[in-house]
A = this chain, B = another copy of it.
Amino acid sequence: MKVGIVGAGAVGRAVADLAPEYGHSVVALADSGSAAIDPDGLDPETVLARKEGGDPLGAADPNDALDASYDVLVEATPTTLGDAEPGFSHVEQALARDRHAVLANKGPVAERYGDLREFEANSRGQVRFEATVAGAIPVLSVIDDLGTGNVTAVRGILNGTANFVLSRMAAEGLAYEHVLAEAQDLGVAEADPAFDVQGTDAALKCVILANVLAGGDRDGDDGNGGNDTDSDTDDGAIDNDADADGSSLREPYTLADATVEGIEGIPPSALELAGEDGRTIRLIGEVSRGRVRVGPRLVPEHGPLAVGGTQNTLQLETRHAGRLNLSGRGAGGPETATAVLADVGRLTR
């Protein structure tokens, strides 16, 4: 496949770096300042070395990358909320040209899922977004395989920064502010950590999961916590492809539907108390029966939900196959690029 990449942060750069290894060529790579474009395929190493040296990626305008001769556009610009721009327009442009779009950017998928599916329905291109949830953990692909109607609930740890802070607080008995400063020193937390520690990032991922589980269709979910997933599947087929059918969309979930609480108010004494009971506190995201929630929860200290450090973990509850646990690295350039390239690989099959 010929790959165009918009966004040259850690993920975009890693996609460019690894794409040749997966048999793909990179025909365009853009950051906010410039773009390198070559219909015959760039040499990612050379282009990335320019950026590393402080030079522009290439001579072209960033927007020209959107018109390049790619089969699939990888959208890896920073996540924005609300209208999810400029990421959304990048994807829109690729679909309008009947090209595929693979997103690492959560914004368009969490905030404008309906629009995304509508544009996809009118395009010969497909939209995929494995990289937007839990980095290297292929949870969307697993849900797809299990059958969306077979999965009744998903819960887990979807933010490595918050998990690092809580793990360290529990292990060392340290205060939140202390551990956060340490995490910032280590580069595990951003200078402005609000997006991670207030639960917004985890909530966006839960919203994406909710839309996937619902097939984008909230019909019958009138906010009473009803069991529309159950009644859907009682009615008939488990629709593996429901989320590819833009025509059935009705009121997808957005961040506004999520109940979100962060970890800022947790005192070391709460973790100590939990520990005395063989438990610990983790920031858990939950998607179930039409509800999307993120907040601190007590979990068994040695259970599958209590992963340590910056790991992510997911539990899928299924109707026919019991509970499935997945854990691994939820962030990082190469880790997330692996998910992007898995999506690109799926487009070819």
Contact = CB atoms under 8 A, between A and B. Distances in A.
Contacts of A329: 321-323
A337 B320 contact: yes
Contact of A146 (B20, B138, B144): B138
A124 to B, nearest CB: 16
A87 B24 CA distance: 38
Contacts of A322: 136, 328-329, 332, 335
A42 interface: no
Report the copy number of this chain in the oligomer.
2
A304 B328 CA distance: 11
Contacts of A18: 320
Contacts of A240: 22-23, 345
Contact of A21 (B138, B238, B328): B238
B321 A21 contact: no
A320 B328 CA distance: 12
A141 interface: yes
A346 B22 contact: no
A146 B342 contact: yes
Contact of A345 (B20, B147, B341): B147
A139 to B, nearest CB: 10
A339 B322 CA distance: 12
A49 interface: no
A125 interface: no
Contacts of A342: 145-147
A159 interface: no
Interface string A48-78: 0000000000000000000000000000000
Given A141-B141, A142-B141, A327-B304, A150 B338 contact: yes
A237 B325 contact: no
Given A23-B237, A238-B22, A326-B326, A320 B346 contact: no
Contacts of A275: none
A68 to B, nearest CB: 22
Contacts of A135: 321
A242 B338 CA distance: 18
Contact of A325 (B141, B238, B327): B327
Given A136-B318, A323-B329, A324-B326, 13 more contacts: A20-B237, A21-B237, A22-B147, A23-B238, A141-B145, A147-B338, A150-B338, A302-B302, A321-B335, A321-B338, A322-B328, A322-B332, A349-B349
